[in-house]
Amino acid sequence: MTAATGARTAVLEVRDLAVRFGASEALRGVSFEVAAGTSLAVIGPNGAGKTVLFRALIGAVPFAGEVRWAPGTRLGYVPQRLDLDRDVPITGFDFLQARIRIGGGRPDAATRAARAVGLSIDAWRTPIGALSGGQFQRLLVAFALLGDPTVLLLDEPTAGVDEPGQEQLNELVHRLQIERGLTVLLISHEISVVSRYATQVLCLGRASAHVGPPAEMLTEASLRRMYGASLGLHHHDHDR
């Protein structure tokens, strides 16, 4: 199913996307469009291929079908929590500096990106494998911002982050989206976050993919169809 993007220009068009790993099929028949400046939340049970979808979109895995980014699109990718050795002596500064040297702006851009995401000065000097979950995710967002992206892809950016930190990260992404006019693609298990920030929701099931506005996609019946008996999504009591 394809979502209409209305009058806005489509930043991303995906048609019949399929990904196979040997004999196993990770994704099949996924089609959607994302309009400029909007947020697409990707939800679905574990193993439905959410991360595979993102990796296909950034060209990290071979796929069949069509993925078309609008000309001039610059991607900022925030992967899931990475498995890093605590003692690798690469600091937050080394990491951001590396992005700048690859081609991500002026030397002072690292300081500005760190300030924009509220990265602490300690994180600047700490080996990145030893950072707390929240600080590490902020570092990854800062890294993504250094490429001056027009689209942010965030793969469960709040996984492994404590609850106040999650709230701050979600607000941070939302603020950046408004300030910079970014298009956001977000994988999340947090139904409250999805209903609050998403313009469209792509629900990936093991055998199907549906896309629509949150009001349609987040009904209990539709979620139960996708997730089965145990929903596997997180509701918050203090939900807005």
Partner 1 sequence: MIAEWAVVGLAVATAAAAGLVGCFAVMRRMALAADALSHVALPGIGLALAFHVNPLAGALLALFAGAVLVWTLEERSGIPVDTIVGVVFSAALAVGSMMTSGEELIEVLFGHAGGVSTWELVFGLAAAALAITFVIRTRHRLVVALVSPDLARTSGVNLRRLNLGYLLVFALTVALGLRHLGVLLMGSLIIIPAATARRLASNLTQMLALSVGVAVVTTVAGLVVADRLHREPGPVTVTMAAGIFALTFLGRRR
Of 31 and 97, the one with the shorter C-beta distance to partner 1 is: 97
CA distance 59 to 101: 22
- The binder of partner 1 chosen from 105, 127, 165, 212 (CB under 8 A): 127
Gyration radius of the chain's alpha carbons: 18
Binding status of residue 97 toward partner 1 by CB under 8 A: yes
- The binder of partner 1 chosen from 82, 121, 207, 215 (CB under 8 A): 82
Of 77 and 227, the one with the shorter C-beta distance to partner 1 is: 77
Of 86 and 240, the one with the shorter C-beta distance to partner 1 is: 86
CA distance 188 to 194: 7
CA distance 181 to 191: 24
Place of tokens 């009591």: 237
Query: What interhelical angle do 163-180 and 133-146 show, nearest 10?
Result: 10
Query: What interhelical angle do 133-146 and 92-103 show, nearest 10?
Result: 10
Binding status of residue 189 toward partner 1 by CB under 8 A: no
Minimum distance of partner 1 from residue 127's CB (angstroms): 7
Minimum distance of partner 1 from residue 53's CB (angstroms): 13
**The two three-digit tokens of residue 109, written as one number:** 């851009």
List the interface residues with partner 1, window 8-67 (CB under 8 A).
Answer: 55, 58-60
Binding status of residue 159 toward partner 1 by CB under 8 A: no
Of 95 and 227, the one with the shorter C-beta distance to partner 1 is: 95
CA distance 181 to 9: 13
Minimum distance of partner 1 from residue 141's CB (angstroms): 12
Binding status of residue 122 toward partner 1 by CB under 8 A: no
Binding status of residue 68 toward partner 1 by CB under 8 A: no
Cβ atoms 88, 129 nearer than 8 A: yes
The residue type of 111 is T
The H or E element containing residue 178 is helix 163-180
Binding status of residue 223 toward partner 1 by CB under 8 A: no
Q: Which residues bind partner 1 (CB under 8 A)?
A: 55, 58-60, 75-77, 79, 82, 84-85, 87-91, 93-95, 97-99, 101-104, 125, 127-128, 140, 143-144, 147
